[in-house]
Structures are given as structure tokens and as C-alpha cells.
Structure 1
């Protein structure tokens, strides 16, 4: 994989929703490559740390100030805070033990898949650049 293709893929990831037609074409046609690249980075990080991170949502109830309308004597309405119970959801990260042998095999399989997807992704980027040539320098 060439350095320019990698830079193009990273740029398109950031600009996929509001990019030029060329950038949208590249993002659309290299989605699987970018997903596999992200998975490989996660697995390599797990191997380097020796554990994986998992997340779970924790919901708890806490007291908050809730706005309530209060009618004044002259008929106007103003908003006042009154304590009330509200559910709050937090995301908690926690460590999970990994099997290094399994993670190593997973990383090897993802590298092979990335290599297989590299050629078609490179061709897709060239095709998108040919189909949607950009005018002017955009950085």
C-alpha cells in the first residue's frame, strides 16, 4: 500500500459525510479496508498492552434541578428549578484478559485480509480520482 493511498483513506474517513464527490466515492469504495485497518490496530494495541478494553453502560439515578413553570401573581410565568430524580447513563471502560496466541492469530488473519483488500482499494481510489477529478488545490 502506498503512502498516498493511506493518506487519502485517512482524509476521506474524516470528510466522508461532507466531502467532495471524489472523497465520497473513495470513502464509499474503501469502507471495508478501513474497517479491517481499524480492527487490526485494536488487536495490535491489545497485544501491546496484554489486555483488551471493553465498555458497558451504567445507568444510575441522581437528583437534578428540573425546570418547572411557576405562575406569578400578575399572571406571568417564570421557570424555576425544582429537585427531581433523573436517570443518567455513563459508559464504563474495563480491562478484559486476552489470550495472546488467539490475538496473534487474529492479527495475522487481519494482516492477510488487509493485504488482499489493498489492491482493490488502490484501484478504487484511482477510479474515483479518474471519475471525479478535482479542480484546484484543496487541503
Structure 2
């Protein structure tokens, strides 16, 4: 039960890294635990899907409107919108084949690392809660 509360606290605090002093303390002291946990979730997702996701930046050209300063017949400067071509960068996700044996080995190694980090992370959470009690 305590372990589940600790893990839930760690997940919630990931989102609130700039929160209370207690949350900042927990976030600072459980960074490696959260990183390994995130990597394990990613590897388990890859195994469940049968492939991994990767991203690449794709540049395309699109027609847009660009401001331009022209002079009218009286010589006054006038701001107008002209059509122009602009390069736009998009991030594209694509599937990457995985080797299930290698991914399973990664998952086992990450589970072992997570188990080794858990006691220190739990102690850090308890110490931060003691050092920075929240009123509520």
C-alpha cells in the first residue's frame, strides 16, 4: 500500500516540478527513479505493440501571407499582405521494428534497476515530507 502511494506521489510530482518546496525536494531526489520508470514503460509499450515509435523532422513548403511595405502613388509607406512561400517544419512519427528478445532483456534490466532504486526513492520521499510538511 505504501509503495503504491509513493509511486503515485512520484508520478503526480513529475507534473508539478515547480510546485511546493516538498514537491521540489521529492522531484530533485527521485529523478533517476522516475527516468528509469519512464524508460521501462516505453519498453513495455514497445513489447505490447510489437514496434517502437521514432520521430523525424520533415520540412515542407506552404503558401502563406507575408507583410510587405510598399509605397502608394503619394509616396507614403503602406503595409500590405502578399502571398509568399514559407518552409514549415513538422515532426512526423513513424514505426520502427524491434527485436522482442532485446526489448525483453531491456525490460528485465530496467525492472532490476527500478527495484534497486525504489528503497532510496521511498526514503527520499519520506525525508522530504518530514523536512517540508504541507499544511492542508
Question: Given the two structures, how large is their TM-score scaled by the length of structure 1?
Answer: 0.89
Q: Return the alpha-carbon distance in structure 1 between the equivalents of residues 102 and 23 of structure 2.
A: 36
Aligned to 2:127: 127
Which range moved further: 71-80 or 20-29? 71-80
Q: Return the alpha-carbon distance in structure 1 between the equivalents of residues 24 and 68 of structure 2.
A: 46
Q: Return the alpha-carbon distance in structure 1 between the equivalents of residues 33 and 7 of structure 2.
A: 10
- Once the two structures are TM-superposed, the CA of residue 5 in structure 1 deviates from its matched residue by 0.5
For the residue of structure 2 that corresponds to 1:2, the secondary structure is: helix
Aligned to 2:12: 11
Aligned to 1:49: 49
Contiguous gaps of at least 5 residues in structure 2: none
Aligned to 2:40: 40
Q: Return the alpha-carbon distance in structure 1 between the equivalents of residues 73 and 24 of structure 2.
A: 59
- Once the two structures are TM-superposed, the CA of residue 3 in structure 1 deviates from its matched residue by 1.2
- Once the two structures are TM-superposed, the CA of residue 107 in structure 1 deviates from its matched residue by 0.2
- Once the two structures are TM-superposed, the CA of residue 34 in structure 1 deviates from its matched residue by 0.7
- Once the two structures are TM-superposed, the CA of residue 76 in structure 1 deviates from its matched residue by 7.0
1:92 aligns with 2:97: no
For the residue of structure 2 that corresponds to 1:134, the secondary structure is: coil
Q: 1:53 to 1:74 in 2, by over 3 A?
A: same
Q: 1:73 to 1:128 in 2, by over 3 A?
A: farther
- Once the two structures are TM-superposed, the CA of residue 35 in structure 1 deviates from its matched residue by 0.7
4+ residue runs of structure 1 moved beyond 3 angstroms? 69-79
Q: 1:71 to 1:105 in 2, by over 3 A?
A: same
Aligned to 2:69: 69
Q: Return the alpha-carbon distance in structure 2 between the equivalents of residues 3 and 90 of structure 1.
A: 39
Question: Given the two structures, how large is their TM-score scaled by the length of structure 2?
Answer: 0.91
Q: How many residues align?
A: 135
